[in-house]
Structure 1
Amino acid sequence: MDTHPLVARRSAAVASGVSSLLPGHFATSAEPGVLLDQDGTRLIDLGSGIGVTTVGNAAPAVVAAVARQATEFTHACFMVNPYEGYVEVCERLNELTPGSHEKRSALFTSGAEAVENAIKVARHATGRSAVAVFDHAYHGRTNLTLALTAKNRPYKHRFGPFAGEIYRAPMSYPLRDPADMTGQEAAQRAISHLDAQVGADNLAALLIEPIQGEGGYIVPAPGFLPAIADWCRANGIVFIADEVQTGFCRTGTWFASEHEDVVPDLITTAKGIAGGLPLAAVTGRAELMNAVHPGGLGGTYGGNPLACAAALATMDLMLTNDLAAAAIRIFTRVTARLAPRTGPHLAEVRGRGAMIGLEFAAPDSTPSPTTAHAVATRCHEAGVIVLTCGTHNNVIRLIPPLVIPTDLLDHGVSVLCDAIDSLGQV
């Protein structure tokens, strides 16, 4: 596989800093839950292009919507000539995101860009500059979002200096926290840390993933998010939910904040929003979003008409097919087989909906990246795409398309189970 001419062409043309998990498999086409490579090999896709192809890769309705738009115009730049698709996506986001308050939205191209703009809005609206984030957080790869991101390698290493006025607090991490620590106690730990080291009056915003993604699919203890949100509201701190990976039915609700009835002031979205096309958004309270002066938000490609057409078709599919319920069914089916395998190597199976993490540990309970890598490698060799994550690279994450056929899901999980079971034989 590695001797294929495409491998040599890639090496000669692409910067080595851009890595590929499966460097010998070049995607050529897709089916629901399957990628096909240059040799016709079928790979069961439990990664969705890192959470993007939620409604399936090349979903016919999305393809048709993009094709229709492409015959009309491919770009106009909303800052020059507005168009209806951008407005309609904003209307949908204002309606779908948590809370019944008046909202406004702005569209961008990537999740990192959305996060940066949410920080801009919060700083502008509050007149403050400090921003709080959490241990294990991942918010992007630009200079500001790298400052927000916790993990050094491969993201931050030797790319500094980073943007300032970023402060980090301890996250609720039930597996690693004291066994009797409640969500409210974990929240108070974080609040005390921020009060002492930053001061609530200096914080423009607190940014958090309702379920951490790259940091390890960490689901905070019940009560943690509401307590943090309440503290923010009591102190005039803009509570920003980064739902780039958790949004759009992924966790069994439209947005993960809804699991505990948390209503963010601002919410950032991307990934699953547009069926594979690049689109991102910031949605939030009208008084915050409208505080920014005209021209202060925007970007040449933000809300590109092709991406907007894809997003509208994607959201229609999610509503029509109740993909939030599909995510719950996936969680039930997958965890029923994986949870019984917790033990000496598999420390925990956790998650919500079709966002499931498997944390691997050594006998002394310390993180074991070598075990996670071994399991993932066995899966890849058997034609199943799984992704690793975690600050210590010791977590395997399952994030399949919500439309994956049951037989493919079952087969992929069987391969994963066999790889886990084989750990007891070495």
Structure 2
Amino acid sequence: MLEADLPHYPFCLPSYVAAFDDGQLAQQELKTETRSWRSEGYAAESNVLVLDHHHGVGTKRYCSDADIHQILDEPPPQVRFILLLPTVHEKIAAEVAKNPDAAEVLRKNELYDENTVDPADPEKPSTFTSDQFNISRKALFEILTKYDIAPAACSHIRGQEQIFGSRVRKNEQKDIISFEFWYAIRARAYYRKVDKDADLKVTIVTRYDVESDTTVVLLKYRSWNDLPSKLKRELIAKVEELVMQPSTESIASNPFAITLLHFNSTAQWYRRAARDPRDSVRDEEEKAHIQAKGTRNEVNAIDVRTLHLTMRNLDQDKVQLTFILGVIDRLRKQHDLFYRLVKKVPAPEDRDWLSLRVDEEYDRLENQITYFRSSIEDVSNRAQRLLDLLFNLSGQHNARWSERVGMQAMHESASMKAIAVVSMLFLPGTFVSVSISPHLPVGVREFR
């Protein structure tokens, strides 16, 4: 591909239809300029991890631009993963590790390991460049055009869209020639000890070619900072394990089975991430209970800011988990469509074991994530009830203070009343005495 051809992507693709594909959006997202940390810069030379599985044999290699051009000209393997690993926007893990309290909490909840190195980081820290892809623009366009990736999916690669999309292509004989689907899922956690968010977005673009019975998956792991490095390492390790396992050959013909592995780790991440908010709310509840018993005044000790940030984080988690449940539902529908259109097996009871196993995994993951969302809702409700209790306790405190002020005012009023009565008793005599004094004889006045 010539450099001059790059600006015409995706209009150069044979499948591009202007009425259906948002080519302008893809062009905007894939341009060279970086407007913010959401748009990564391109590397001058690619260093992309490509993992292939072909009939029980797995391979792993880092590819330069020339290597990418070469492997794209080779016959495709059964399964190919292309890992796009942008560098993080900021590095703060080292600073977190210096905080003993934060490090202890993160280790206990298995969210962070100070020995884990972000796979997107360069070998030498001095060469770190934030928000940079591990692939050149030319190599990325060559991959996208080689596999005829849908423009709508391309907007995910550099943008931050978190939507589900799919595309089925047919030839003139109305036979299915390719089946594509793409989506993104997030794994979030809020580190209360350091007031930092760990946000890892996983973008999965999957394309299945019917004629060659091969699947290519573009994976992009995008994180704001390097706190989710442990999860990123875990996900990449699972991809490598999948590729190297000889048994992967038995599931290679089902692209949905290939991309299931990310949900398990994401669900477990949410399970571990929910521990710290739950502990935070419990600590604040204990302070409120002490105050309610009247043994000690702890109203001012309740950290309202912590409760507010906890609820904000939990609300965001609920949104993400709700979206993941929606993704699973869409994948289930697309999986059924795949068997009806591609495998030509319309009845679920006539499908092979792999179809049943994938559906079982969808059910299990849906139940698991639903439970985690319910658990997060419970912690969020407890935090809200605690804020309500804090408001009520503050109201009671203000009421008691107002009562004391009122009683003091009543006492002052009674004192003033007594003074007024005494004044009323003595004032007439004093007034009369003062009034008649000038009219008395001099001797009487002197006697007085």
Say yes or no: TM over 0.5. Answer: no
**Bin for the TM-score computed over the shorter chain:** under 0.3
TM-score (normalised: structure 2): 0.20
Greater relative CO, 1 or 2 (CA 8 Å, sep 6+): 1
TM-score (normalised: structure 1): 0.21
State the structure with more CA Rg.
2
Q: Could you say which structure has the higher helix fraction?
A: 2
